[in-house]
Structures are given as structure tokens and as C-alpha cells.
Structure 1
């Protein structure tokens, strides 16, 4: 037995993305544990959390609202990736891999949100 949201590709991809961000943040300096590491972890977890919370809601407008929260959390993760690159915690190549994944996920989430009536 599964919850409906578990079948959503965007939820599955958001779950994978959060695990990647968890691994990535393990390599940040210890001084970032309560700053950038914490922020990127909370924001990346929030993407899938908001998708699931909205999917079990009572109405489509509520689901659209939670999808908006998910999209904003993804944008926050992208900003954290930029910060990590600027602080030389990740290479340009690592940044590009995660940025591309985030970009594709953003497009999928935006299209999904637009289909919710």
C-alpha cells in the first residue's frame, strides 16, 4: 500500500535531491554546520515535505499553495549551491551537476503546479 504522493515523480526526484544535498553538505567546513549546511538541508528536505503535505490536502488550491512552497524551497537550495561554490566548498563541476538537476526539477514542478486546477 502506498500514499498517492509516493507515485509522483516530482516527489521521488525531490527525495533523491535532498539525499544528494545531505551528502554534499557533509563536505562543507564545520563552521557552516549551523549556517549553510543547516540551511541547504532544511530547504532541500522541505521540497518533498511540502509536496506530500499538499498532496494529502483537502483541495486543489491548497495543493497549489504547497507546490509553491516546494518551488520556493528549491530556489533556496539553488542559492545555497551558489553560496557553496562562491565559498569554494564545491567545484564548478559539482555545482553544474546539481544545478542542472535542480533546473530540471523546477521545470517539472512548475508544469505540475500549472496542471492542478
Structure 2
């Protein structure tokens, strides 16, 4: 379903590496809008950017890197390489909270049986 998104974005090996190893947090703000916060920075709130996802492709929105560098920024690449985040941003309808963990995995709710 989203296998072509990574082929659509143009980015270099350095950007791909940073998107993989830097600690990032994802928040689905609204349908098609993912807030990506770089938790690797001391002031993470100052390194938080909104990324629009249109038709399954993260497009530029707020990141200064998209203005000054050729190719996609690490924030857009970070979304693409975490399929669950990309799917949630594309399918999010706004009337329910999607279950996506900060690392891109799925949040699993503990059942009452597990609590006992």
C-alpha cells in the first residue's frame, strides 16, 4: 500500500541514517498532519516540526531543511521508514486516536486480566 512512498522521496544516505538513529517522537495532530519531535536534541521542543502526509507521501511543511537542502528532510524520511506511522497519518479520520507508539510501533493496551 505504501511501498512506493520511499521511492518518491529523494534523500541521501546521511539523511536516511539520521532518520533511523536519531530519537524521534511522532504525534498525529490532525488528519494528515504528523508532528515529529527530535528527542536527540537537548531542547527537543525547538526541534519539533509538522509534516503533512498527502496520498501516503510526507510532504514539506515546517522543517527549515526542506528550504535549504536538496531532497527530503530527515523528519519526512523518519515517517516513511516507519510504516505504522505513515499508515496512521494516512488513515487517521480525526474521530479516534490512532494507536501508534513514539517509535512507530503499535501501542498495545493492557487488558484487565493482565492487571491482576
TM above 0.5, yes or no, is no
Higher strand share: 2
What's the TM-score, normalizing by structure 1?
Answer: 0.27
What's the TM-score, normalizing by structure 2?
Answer: 0.27
Higher helix share: 1
